[in-house]
Amino acid sequence: MRDGRLKVAITGATGFIGAAVTNRLLQDGQFDVRAAVRNQASVLPSGVERIEIGNLTPNLDWNKTLSGVNAVVHLAARVHVMHDTAEGLFEFRRMNVESTLNLARQAAAAGVSRFIFLSTVKVNGESGVYTERDNPSPQDAYAVSKHEAEIGLRRIADQTGIEIATVRPPLVYGPGVKANFRALMLAVRRGIPLPLGAIRNRRSLVALDNLADFLLTCIQHPAAGNQTFLVSDGEDLSTTDLARRLARAMGRPARLIPVPAALLMAVASVLGKRDLATRLLGSLQVDISKAREMLGWTPPISVNEGLRRAANALE
């Protein structure tokens, strides 16, 4: 710590979430930020200390990254991949479990006081209304690996005294978002008619800026240590409402056709797209009461503002 400033090391600092967290810490002005990156090609903002580590492996030496650090924000991971095999589970465990626990052990040995671990709501399950008290029910290799990492981190905390804060976000959206969310935005912007006008599900989302703010809160707040938190924007949307709000954010008409959800699911199943249809049509909600009450945290931006920022950055 220098002049009361915390030194924070971030893994995955150049990724979708990592870049936002890095910028949020810099903007706050209370942190010295150190980023663990693969190589010289990784682009970082001015003012961030660079430590090149190569590829993330279970036996990586983190000594240079951890020296003098107060907190670690661990975002680097093997992310969710559709249709993974048993071999995929091995790779998820290697990257998301073994590599994470190796980093946490070395962080504890180096005197790091707090370790922030980005997990996923998929540890809770794929559909339903969740709180932190619910029994985990991971359904795929990615979620299983995150759950196993959480269990291992709790053991390390018990053995060493390092404080672990685990954060389980739902779908994260914002500037630079990829995959299905980007595809939906492009379809709305192009005025493509979508059969999403009669979907009455409820889904929790979290804007990138809200998640970055919450991770900063977990670094600083005394009560965040050795806790697990669900986080969201605090307002759940149906897919129909999401498409309409995206259209409004872009200044475009929402061309939505009211097709029954059951019919859409049946067609998707025939086409082998049931997983995608489940995410579009099913419900998944998180209760953020714990974050509000224990940490005094409220999402700093609204859903509408988050969607506007995502839409403005769409290329």
Q: What is the per-residue DSSP string for 60-73?
A: ---HHHHTT-SEEE
Find the distance separating the first CA and the last CA of the chain, reported in whole Å: 40
* pLDDT score at 1: 44
- pLDDT digit string, tens, across residues 43-81: 899 999 999 999 899 999 999 999 999 999 999 998 865
CA–CA separation, 259 and 199 (whole Å) = 8
Task: Classify 96 in phi/psi space as left (phi over 0), alpha (psi -120 to 50) or beta.
Answer: alpha
- pLDDT digit string, tens, across residues 131-179: 999 999 999 999 999 999 999 999 999 999 999 999 999 999 999 999 9
CATH number at residue 147: 3.40.50.720
Residues annotated as catalytic are 142
Q: Which domain holds residue 71?
A: 6-168
* pLDDT score at 190: 96
Q: Residue 66 falls within a domain, yes or no?
A: yes
Q: Residue 291 falls within a domain, yes or no?
A: no
Q: Please count the structural domains in the chain.
A: 1
Q: Residue 202 falls within a domain, yes or no?
A: no
* pLDDT score at 277: 87
Residue 207 has pLDDT above 80, yes or no: yes
Residue 292 has pLDDT above 70, yes or no: yes
